[in-house]
Structure 1
Amino acid sequence: MTAGPRTWRATARLLTLTIVIASTAIAWVSAETLSTFYVTQRLKDTSADIRSSLRSVSEQIEQALSDMQRFEQLGSECTSGIYAAVSNLVAANRFIYEAAVLLPNGKACTSYGYQLESLAMLQDTQPFSTGNHSYWFSVSNLSGNEGFVAVSQHNSYVWLNDLLVASALDVPNDVTFELVDKNSLDSLFSSSEHQLKHEIPYQADKISVDRQGVHYALPSQWQEILAVVTLPFSAYQTIWWQLFTTAFLSSLAVIGLLTWVAGKIREQRRSFAPKLRRALKYNEFRVNYQPIVNMHTGRWVGVESLIRWHVAGKAISPAIFIPAAEKEGVIGEITHWVIERIAEDYSHYLRACEGLYLTINLSAQEIEDESFPSFVQKTLETHGVPASLIVFEVTEGGLVNLEKATAQLQKLRDQGHRIAVDDFGTGYSSLSYIETLPIDILKIDRSFLTPEKIAANDALWRHVVSMANTLNLTVVAEGIEGTEQSEPLMREGVTFAQGWLYSRDLSPAALKDEFLKLHQECA
């Protein structure tokens, strides 16, 4: 009594563990991929913004130094006029907090209004030169007032306002921007209070990762300096964990949902066999008939039998219960029931309609069952149904063993039945078996006769019709719903069709009434 629950609990634990492991693996891979992509894109976007901001700073420096060129040859003394001009220049440029002009005698006139004997503050720092400019870096970070950044051209010098430059760059709080010496890997210029310790060389326009974080290097205007944007490792981990958590919960929900759905489908399929047998026992199934019509005359020449099933007033599609019946091995019982019901319907309703043939769909199980022809013969004789009025339809899916199928269909044909191939063209081997099987009727699948496809000159259905005519087979077109389908078919010599253009499926009584209205020869 306890073996079942124990087994169920063990299965549930194993399934839960499997779902968690699968979700973790999916989340891990997703977090790695997405975090790398996100961080890379973010650093590149930040670099582009910084590059744009640096251009505006550089343009202001260039303009200021150019304006100061005219002060260099004014004399050997720092006059009040020079002081005022340099001071006004600083006031007009937001990124510059000090400027100086070096006179030919070595004296420096500054924007603060006093004379410097020399520029001693720059002598202890090695400049970086590019073109006509020299740059001095002596900063610990851009957040404080320590150190300086100076730029010179000829004998003109300007010092940058660290805080305003930092504000102009607008570096995100969790990102660090630095100017790094290519040779020593020392940080010359940093937007963070805590300078990073760079350990590996950087390549321009490349992403690199070390213990400090994720780095993206972009070329600077100095040959020996790289501008580096860094997302610290702690920030990267935060992003990774956020993505991992989101991916884990999402995958857990999706896998759990799919598992639940699969379980429900499996449970439903498992329970289909007793439900189907109960439906047979209590006559819950019924058979309707859809007419097969001569498109030229409008006369009905045959009907296809279609099984229907309603449970609690709700229709269950044959596309659901027929595959389930095949899988559960109940399809043979259903086919036997259909044949008996058709024979009864013929006795009560359809005998009055002379010449109207009835088609019955066969599955692989009936084709494999050697006793099936005898059952058919006995049932039809009991109800007085002529064998010539019964057409058996087979699909390519039911032809598992071509040799056995050929022999079985030939037995049915020898009893007086005709054989039709349904849904022709949907499989891969249709053309190879069409000449082998004892076939009388070829039904073109509706998927080849849609309004979009039927008008094409090289449409497949045209080749099927040509082949059928060569083999002297009757062609029936399925799924005809409008004249835009029927007219091209008739022009190509197709005579018979079925579909909603002519009639939906009807009950036996309704079929008889409609047939009597259309065909005066029905008594």
Structure 2
Amino acid sequence: MVAAYKALLGRHAVTVCLIAAAGWAAWLCAGGLAEPFIARKLNNVYADLRAAQVEPNAQIDKVLETLGDLDRSGQECSAEQYSQLANLVKNLRFVDQAAIQLPNGKICSSYGQELSSILPGNDKRKFSVGKRTYWVDSGHTVSADTDFIVVSEQSTYVWANKKILLDNLKFPEDLQLDLIGPGGAVPIASTGPTPLTMRKPFHLEELVISADKVLIAFAGNRNELISVVSLPLSYLTSLKFKLFIGLACVFAALLLLARCIQRHYTSTAVRLRNALKANALGVHYQPIVNLTTGYLVGAESLSRWNDNGTQVPADVFIAVAEKSDLIRKLTRSVIRQVAEDYSTYLWACQDFYITVNLCAQDIQDPSFPDYVASVLATYNMPASAMAFEITERTLLDHKPAALQLRRLRACGHRIAVDDFGTGYSNISLLDSVPFDILKIDRSFIADDKIAAKDALWRHIAQLARSLRLKVVAEGVESQEQLPHLVSEGVLLAQGWLFSKALPIQALARRYFQCPENVPPHDPKISINDFY
């Protein structure tokens, strides 16, 4: 009882650890996805910002350049100067005012009057970058409509209204833009209620996560002003949480799927192992027909498994057998059943053979030929009555396989290559491995391909004849296929046209009866005419 509880707790502990690991991985992945997503969003917004700044910058540059050419040699502001200044800015959207400074310090404005100072009041800041100087208000009303940015160059001045500049940017409402001076010390303009102040050194164009914001700082076109695009930290947190929930669901689904697959293969493998121990698997046989006589000359053995009333598809339990190392036991079970069926029902059938499909593990097993010989001796079945089918995919290493197959041929067995043309080796395989029979895959002789003069199956049939191999066409389903096959010397065939896979009793009845629906295609043709 104690051991059972420990085992139960151990399984639950593993489950809890897996869930915790999946949750932690989901959170890490969420962070790894959310931060690059935010960075791309901020970079895209700044790219739009750069495009929107082109026209304002061009107007300011043009006005400053023109102001530098105006005559400033007088001692008083003249009507002509006022007129020139007013005409210079009257049609400009982003320049509110322009002014020049005379040698005696007087400032002449486009408003038609002298200015006592660049910005009213004492609450202002000034900083210089290169040849230009900037004046900005330093109070808490950085976003107010009446605030201006003044740009000065060699005693010329341009006023730009912050509100108009920011409105032109059409900045997304969920983001905040802050224009600050070099080094982050001087706030110039902001689209948010609280201007951003950079209290610590920062790197440009890198995602920064502060106490309440996620931001990226960008240098201006002339490395003058710094543009900071930011989002509330809650945006990143919310995005990470949403991604975490989604990823956690995905990881949970994957864990559940993996658990289900593991249970499926484990449980199926256990049942299959028990069925093999109890000899509970059966064998059906699909007849191979001589097209010149209509009689049966052989059959392909196909394993069948009825698991407590449920017929398990062969491709399912064979895949399980391969993954759970039961495939050799399955092959040996089929060989034993075939030998028993032959000795009971088909011992009187002359020149009749049954093929058994082999896998790579069978061919690599050095004890396999001896096992086959002992089973055939037990049931008094001649070796010529049992042939072995292999596919190209099971023979990636030709030399060891060729040695094993030669051992089987030396015992009297025939070797057939199945699904020829669908694998990797093809002609080189025929040259290095001893074969007696070549089976053409059903995909090559489908109704829409069989009549073509240059169809691949015709070349395969000609190659087989040149090597003196018997040829069997698989998957024959219509009478229309028969004349094409016979014309190329393919006189052995199997498929639903002749019969589905049959229990051994039904196969024996078919053999000893006259053909019911497979008359000789051309009784004048003999299979020996082609070999």
Displacement of 1:199:
3.9
Residue 529 of structure 2: aligned partner: none
Residue 17 of structure 2: aligned partner: 17
CA distance in 1, matches of 2:114, 2:450: 92
Percent identity over paired residues: 25
Residue 422 of structure 1: aligned partner: 418
Letter in 2 for 1:258: A
1:313/1:306 CA distance change after superposition, 3 Å: same
CA distance in 2, matches of 1:19, 1:356: 59
Q: Does 1:495 align with 2:496?
A: no
Displacement of 1:440:
2.0
CA distance in 2, matches of 1:188, 1:89: 26
Displacement of 1:517:
3.9
Q: Could you give the per-residue CA deviations for residues 329-363 of structure 1, whole angstroms, max 9, x where no partner exists?
A: 3543343224333555537xx95xx7554323356
> Counterpart of 1:264 in 2: which secondary structure?
helix
Count of equivalent residues? 497
1:437/1:89 CA distance change after superposition, 3 Å: closer
Residue 255 of structure 2: aligned partner: 255
CA distance in 2, matches of 1:59, 1:343: 100
CA distance in 2, matches of 1:355, 1:134: 107
Q: Does 1:287 align with 2:288?
A: no
1:454/1:167 CA distance change after superposition, 3 Å: farther
Letter in 2 for 1:260: C
CA distance in 2, matches of 1:153, 1:169: 25
Residue 135 of structure 2: aligned partner: 136
CA distance in 1, matches of 2:103, 2:434: 113
Letter in 2 for 1:20: A
Contact in 1 for aligned 2:302/2:501 (Cα 8 Å): no
CA distance in 1, matches of 2:125, 2:170: 31
Displacement of 1:201:
5.9
Letter in 1 for 2:500: D
Contact in 2 for aligned 1:290/1:305 (Cα 8 Å): no
Contact in 2 for aligned 1:287/1:341 (Cα 8 Å): no
Residue 441 of structure 1: aligned partner: 437
1:453/1:366 CA distance change after superposition, 3 Å: farther
Letter in 1 for 2:253: A
Residue 528 of structure 2: aligned partner: none
Residue 322 of structure 1: aligned partner: 318
Q: Does 1:116 align with 2:115?
A: yes
Deviates more, 1:59-68 or 1:389-398: 59-68
Deviates more, 1:30-39 or 1:58-67: 58-67
Letter in 1 for 2:53: L
Q: Does 1:220 align with 2:220?
A: yes
Q: Over aligned residues, Cα RMSD in angstroms?
A: 5.3
Contact in 1 for aligned 2:99/2:158 (Cα 8 Å): yes
Residue 54 of structure 1: aligned partner: 53
1:503/1:229 CA distance change after superposition, 3 Å: farther
1:149/1:297 CA distance change after superposition, 3 Å: farther
CA distance in 1, matches of 2:311, 2:286: 16
Residue 358 of structure 1: aligned partner: 354
CA distance in 2, matches of 1:398, 1:71: 92
Deviates more, 1:213-222 or 1:96-105: 96-105
> Counterpart of 2:53 in 1: which secondary structure?
helix
> Counterpart of 2:14 in 1: which secondary structure?
helix
Displacement of 1:287:
1.0
Letter in 2 for 1:196: T
Q: Could you give the per-residue CA deviations for residues 269-327 of structure 1, whole angstroms, max 9, x where no partner exists?
A: 2122234556x55xx73513143565x99886543232334557754221222344563
> Counterpart of 1:515 in 2: which secondary structure?
coil
CA distance in 1, matches of 2:455, 2:15: 52
Contact in 2 for aligned 1:72/1:156 (Cα 8 Å): no
1:480/1:26 CA distance change after superposition, 3 Å: farther
Deviates more, 1:399-408 or 1:250-259: 399-408
Displacement of 1:94:
5.5
CA distance in 1, matches of 2:441, 2:486: 16
Q: Could you give the per-residue CA deviations for residues 201-244 of structure 1, whole angstroms, max 9, x where no partner exists?
A: 645xx435475776545452334444343456665455444434
Displacement of 1:93:
5.6
Q: Gaps (5+ residues) in structure 2?
A: 524-531
Displacement of 1:46:
0.8
CA distance in 2, matches of 1:390, 1:120: 106
1:127/1:398 CA distance change after superposition, 3 Å: closer
Contact in 2 for aligned 1:127/1:137 (Cα 8 Å): no
Residue 125 of structure 1: aligned partner: 126
1:503/1:128 CA distance change after superposition, 3 Å: farther
CA distance in 1, matches of 2:471, 2:388: 15
Residue 518 of structure 1: aligned partner: 518
Displacement of 1:441:
1.9
CA distance in 1, matches of 2:449, 2:59: 66
Contact in 2 for aligned 1:216/1:229 (Cα 8 Å): yes
Contact in 2 for aligned 1:106/1:118 (Cα 8 Å): no
5 Å-filtered alignment, 1:396-475, equals 397=394, 402=401, 405-406=404-405, 409-410=408-409, 412-413=411-412, 417-423=413-419, 439-443=435-439, 466=463, 472-475=468-471
Name which of 301, 305, 309 aligns with 1:305: 301
Q: Could you give the per-residue CA deviations for residues 232-275 of structure 1, whole angstroms, max 9, x where no partner exists?
A: 66654554444344323422332232223212321222122234
Q: Could you give the per-residue CA deviations for residues 474-505 of structure 1, whole angstroms, max 9, x where no partner exists?
A: 344545679999999888x6625646585462
CA distance in 1, matches of 2:465, 2:129: 89
Letter in 2 for 1:505: K
Q: Does 1:505 align with 2:500?
A: yes
Q: Gaps (5+ residues) in structure 1?
A: none
